Amino acid sequence: MDTTKNAYLDKVTDKLVGETGIDYEKNAVYNSTLFVSPSHPYFLTKKPPLAIFSQHCRDIYGLTEPEIEYVWKEYRKIILNKINEE
């Protein structure tokens, strides 16, 4: 992917991260636009775990499957880092 495409995908990732809340007491991750996760092990999957995540990325941001996988990888990495910082 070229740098322009990566910049766009990074902005999409940042938007999704900004829409995500972490409840450290309940060990839960929430994103009202996309999903509610019972616990952070959900984020250990390499591929987007829910069809709704992929559908949202296609519908709202016009992403292709490889782009969705890139965004998921980056999003997951950021959220896991935030969880581990607590």
Strand partners, 20: 31
Separation CA 20–CA 35 (nearest Å): 9
- Give the domain range for residue 70: 3-85
Per-residue model confidence (pLDDT) at position 76:
84
Per-residue model confidence (pLDDT) at position 62:
96
Strand partners, 34: none
Number of domains in the chain: 1
Per-residue model confidence (pLDDT) at position 53:
82
* Digitized pLDDT (tens) for each residue of the chain, 86 residues in all: 577 779 999 999 999 999 888 877 776 777 766 555 545 455 555 566 667 788 889 999 999 999 999 998 898 889 888 877 76
